[in-house]
């Protein structure tokens, strides 16, 4: 994973408490790899999914806004 993506500040996001763990998802991702078992595999998968989903959502919504703007802009010029 590129350094810029790895250090984009997602660790500063306060993730909701999807699981019953003190500190919520942020703390769970930090501790889970040390516990071993399925949690050690699941924590990096969730962490990388967050790194993909958040920027992907921003890009998709920006493109969607651009498309809506183009559609309305084309309607007014006719």
> Residue 4: which pLDDT band, with cuts at 50, 70 and 90?
low
pLDDT of residue 38: 86
pLDDT of residue 65: 95
2 has pLDDT over 70: no
- Alpha-carbon distances of 35 from 27, 39, 44, 53, 61, rounded to whole Å: 13, 7, 13, 26, 37
pTM of the model: 0.60
Q: How many domains does the chain have?
A: 1
**In this structure, what token pair is assigned to residue 43?**
């924590």
Q: Which domain holds residue 35?
A: 3-11+18-77
CB 56 within 8 A of CB 48: no
């Amino acid at each position: 994973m590129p350094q810029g993506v790895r250090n984009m500040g997602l660790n500063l996001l306060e993730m909701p408490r999807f699981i019953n763990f003190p500190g919520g998802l942020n703390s769970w991702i930090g501790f889970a790899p040390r516990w071993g078992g399925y949690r050690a595999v699941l924590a990096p998968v969730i962490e990388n999914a967050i790194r993909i989903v958040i920027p992907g959502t921003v890009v998709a919504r920006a493109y969607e806004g651009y498309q809506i703007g183009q559609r309305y802009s084309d309607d007014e010029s006719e």
